[in-house]
Amino acid sequence: IWCAVNWRLNLTGSRAYAAAAQAVLSVLESELDAIRTAGTWKGERVITSQQGPRISVDGSRGDILNFCANNYLGLSNHPEVVKAGIDALKKYGAGLSSVRFICGTQSIHKNLEEKLARFHEREDCILYASCFDANAGLFEVLLGPDDAVLSDELNHASIIDGIRLCRAKRFRYKHMDLNDLEEKLKESRSSRMRLVVTDGVFSMDGDVAPLQGICDLAEQYGALVFIDECHATGFLGPRGRGTDELLGVMDRVHIVNSTLGKALGGAAGGYTVGPKALIELLRQRSRPYLFSNSLPPPVVGCATRAVELLLASNEIAQSMAAKTMRFRNNMTQAGFTISGTAHPICPVMLGDARLASLMADDMLKLGVYVIGFSYPVVPKGKARIRVQISAAHTDEDIDRAVDAFIQTGRKHGVIS
């Protein structure tokens, strides 16, 4: 890339150098062409307002209903969350210009870690710049060549990358398939330590991992259980603590990773909660923690307020759950197939990739922003529009989205 830039700027007079730079540029351009041809190009729509249930997109004036953010609890622009960020910015500055262990730990970082550990009812918590980093940091520290990691085949990219970085033996079990997990536990019997790894909720289908069965098997075969709770923290379970609370296994899941970048205010940051000794070891050894800047104070301020709101009451989570059921029920009644159960990720199953993309475009014309997902993000023939419900949507917003789906669904012959 550097060569290509040099060539563009014509920084060198050498003919041979220019030819070499041109060759690099050709490689980049053919890669880009291949992505376009494969139909997997990811465009970015430019939002000119705050994140929220109503947004401005590409010049519109705040009148687009947004159904594709992970803003499940509507905290991304909640006045108290924003104010806490401003207060922290004023009191603690823009950033630390340091990693945590040199001079980058403030009282607010320790305070947020303590609150998150309490929220998840685990001994300790370690903050990262993102959950992607949290996932990249864990496996390498915990697992060596004598160990094994058993992971669901549909786990999130950050988990897959994290596993790639560690030297443990890898076993992938079929998506949510307990029989296959048991086979892999038998195959890995000779390992020193085994870790079963799964998303609590899978982001494309909103389906919930069978944690009771996973914990039963883990206990039978002496394995640890790790869950990534990015699409569950803050709203699943009676008090919004997550998939482990929903399924009654909070005391049987050993390690939890999650994000501050979705339901918990949506700014940035990730974390791991678990046994104190593990968290201490991560602080000593985890590379994304050791060698990356501390979370900025405004981000810590926003997340702290979000967690405080959730520790105080589960009203917001209940409001989101009610709206999710309103959407799911009315859509099902209208003849659509919605995958998953009771999760705010509501995949409207359409099958055909082109149909999903055309319908999403038509929905936007009606002022409802949703996104179509197709292969390779989801399996071939399982294209869908993924709708994400937020507590910040009003009942009228939900009904408007349902109406828009009915109108476009009829136009495209999906429903009658």
Q: Where in the sequence numbering do the catalytic residues fall?
A: 203, 231, 262
Q: Does 399 bind ligand NAG (CB under 6 A)?
A: yes
List Cα–Cα distances, 379 to 69, 137, 153, 382, 383, in angstroms.
22, 29, 12, 6, 8
Give the separation between CA 275 and CA 372, rounded to whole angstroms: 40
**CA nearest to 175, candidates 378, 24, 371:** 378
Query: What single DSSP character describes residue 256?
Result: E
DSSP string, 350-388: EE-HHHHHHHHHHHHHTTEE-EEE-TTTS-TT-EEEEEE
Name the minimum Å distance from CB 17 to ligand NAG. 42
Identify the residue among 51, 71, 106, 130 touching ligand PLP (CB under 6 A). 130
Q: Kindly identify the residues of this chain, within the stretch 241-280, that bind ligand PLP according to CB under 6 A.
A: 259, 261, 270
Identify the residue among 71, 130, 243, 257 touching ligand NAG (CB under 6 A). 257
Location of structure tokens 């055909």: 352
Q: Does 171 bind ligand NAG (CB under 6 A)?
A: no
Give the separation between CA 226 and CA 157, rounded to whole angstroms: 15
Identify the residue among 199, 207, 245, 397 touching ligand PLP (CB under 6 A). 199
Residue 231 touches which of ligand PLP, ligand NAG, none (CB < 5 to 8 A by kind)?
ligand PLP
Cα angle: 207, vertex 208, 214; to 5 degrees: 135
**The pair of three-digit structure tokens given for residue 272, joined into one six-digit string:** 């791991």
Q: Does 409 bind ligand NAG (CB under 6 A)?
A: no
Give the separation between CA 154 and CA 327, rounded to whole angstroms: 26
Phi first, then psi: give them for residue 264, nearest 5 degrees. -85, 55
Identify the residue among 69, 81, 127, 131 touching ligand PLP (CB under 6 A). 131
Between 131 and 316, whose beta carbon lies closer to ligand PLP?
131
**The pair of three-digit structure tokens given for residue 204, joined into one six-digit string:** 């494309």
Q: Kindly identify the residues of this chain, within the stretch 302-331, that bind ligand NAG according to CB under 6 A.
A: 326, 329-330
Between 98 and 329, whose beta carbon lies closer to ligand NAG?
329
Residue 115 touches which of ligand NAG, ligand PLP, none (CB < 5 to 8 A by kind)?
none
User: Which residues form the interface with ligand NAG (CB under 6 A)?
Assistant: 126, 128, 134-139, 158-159, 162, 197, 226, 228, 257, 272, 282, 286, 326, 329-330, 399, 402
User: Which residues form the interface with ligand PLP (CB under 6 A)?
Assistant: 130-132, 135, 156, 158, 199, 203, 228, 230-231, 259, 261, 270
